[in-house]
Amino acid sequence: MGYGANCDDCGRECHPFPALLAQFQEDFFRTHPIGGHLSNFGYDEGDTVTLCGDCTYELLNPDSDA
């Protein structure tokens, strides 16, 4: 049974389900310097990030061309 979420990176539907669901921890977002960068990308504290399998693989393997 599916879950109807779209990937935050490529925008495609994550079928049958997302590979990764993560939430920005509020204290990290408020105190770490990259919080400002994340905000520039449109994220906010407490936002949930949803990624499909391909984008999760790319995130975890930055040297890959996947």
Chain residues binding Zn ion by CB under 5 A are 7, 9-10, 52, 55
Instruction: Indicate the residue among 10 and 60 with the shorter CB distance to Zn ion.
Output: 10
Strand 20-23 to 48-51 pairing:
antiparallel
Which of 20, 19, 18, 39 lies closest to 28, judged by CA? 39
Cβ(55)–Cβ(10) below 8 Å? yes
Query: Cβ 41 to Zn ion, closest distance in Å?
Result: 15
Query: Cβ 11 to Zn ion, closest distance in Å?
Result: 7
Query: Cβ 8 to Zn ion, closest distance in Å?
Result: 8
